[in-house]
Amino acid sequence: MRRYPSWKELQKISKVGRFAAGDGLYMQVAPGSTRSWIFRYRRGDKSYHVGLGSCRYLSLAEARQKAIDAQRQRMAGLDPLTEKLKTERSAPLATNLPTFERAALQFISEREPSWRNGASAYQWRLSLEKYVFPHLGQRSVGDITTADVLASLQPIWTTVPETARRVRNRVELIMSYAIAHQWRSADNPATWQILKNLLPDLKGNGDQKHFAAVPYKEMPTLMARLRQDKSVVSTALQFCILTAARPSEAAGARWDEIQDGVWVIPASRMKRNREHRVPLSLERF
């Protein structure tokens, strides 16, 4: 019989990912060591998740009982996610409202199975933990105002505008999720129709202009020109081109990351938080 980890053993895990705890129950660890319980199951050829709650509020025994109840629903021919949504939609307005952080993590956990890109959930959690949770994380979703959302967006609106736009949209979706669960009234404090009158207008109204890409047929000519330039900048650009690495990954490269002709980029420096291995040519450029 398979032995599942105890709560003490689960608490020691700091690696981002999902860790089985028995009966379809998993502890999900997000960046920043935020932990939540989810129930995973398959329906046909697809996997689904049901958010059970934060590890801060549910013990392992309580979460496992919820997972067992969900398994019983499946044995009765019911779909756990559908049943949960039915229950939440018919519930009266909650008096014990979740915090924004709890609502956000539950939203991500439930939506993650439908997101094609595996990095989406990671990027959502990372942006919220960095820019929103410090301002709104422990606030009740029923008490958050437009002024609160504005306070979290203003520091980044002009410095990292593209990120700020994405963060605003994510907050709006989470607050709409809270409204659907009747955790707050029907006003959404993060809607753009209101915030566009309070935030500075950015050039292009959100249209980001990128540098023109070099056509692949012109790459040999470009590389020949770069090799004539012996500067560090030229060498770094050649390294980026040959390894298809992001500038930040190449700029942060260390000699101890190169092992037996392979550049091993640690997960901590990768966008998807996964170790990446790049074979290197022995020929010097």
User: 201 and 223 share a domain?
Assistant: no
Contact residues for 23 (Cβ-Cβ < 8 A; gap 6+): 64, 67, 68, 71
pLDDT at 93: 47
Torsion of the alpha carbons at 157, 98, 24 and 271, rounded to the nearest 10: 10
**What residues make up the domain containing 65?**
1-90
Domain boundary among 209, 232, 266: 209
- For residue range 4-43, list pLDDT tens digits in order: 778 888 888 878 788 888 889 998 887 656 788 889 998 8
User: 101 and 116 share a domain?
Assistant: yes
β-pairing, 46-54 with 34-43? antiparallel
More confident call, 82 vs 90: 82
The two tokens of residue 240 are: 């980026």
**φ, ψ of residue 187 in degrees (nearest 5):** -85, 130
Assess if residue 43 is contained within a domain. yes
CA angle 16, 21, 22 (to 5 degrees): 145
User: 165 and 265 share a domain?
Assistant: no
Three-state DSSP string of 36-92: EEEEEEEECCEEEEEEEEECCCCCHHHHHHHHHHHHHHHHCCCCHHHHHHHHHHHCC
Domain boundary among 176, 194, 209: 209
Q: What is the mean pLDDT of the chain?
A: 83
User: 101 and 198 share a domain?
Assistant: yes
Q: Which residues are 41's β-sheet partners?
A: 48
pLDDT at 205: 46
Task: Identify the CATH number of the domain in which residue 61 sits.
Answer: 3.30.160.390
Domain count, the chain: 3
Percentage of residues in the chain with pLDDT exceeding 90? Answer: 25
Assess if residue 284 is contained within a domain. no
Length of the chain, please? 285
Assess if residue 285 is contained within a domain. no
Whole-angstrom distance, CA of residue 105 vs CA of residue 111: 10
More confident call, 41 vs 1: 41
**pLDDT over 70 at 186, yes or no:** yes
More confident call, 67 vs 30: 67
More confident call, 94 vs 170: 170
- For residue range 200-246, list pLDDT tens digits in order: 887 654 455 667 788 888 999 999 999 999 888 888 888 888 888 88
pLDDT at 209: 61
User: 152 and 241 share a domain?
Assistant: no
Which pTM does this prediction carry?
A: 0.47
pLDDT at 164: 93
Domain boundary among 191, 209, 227: 209
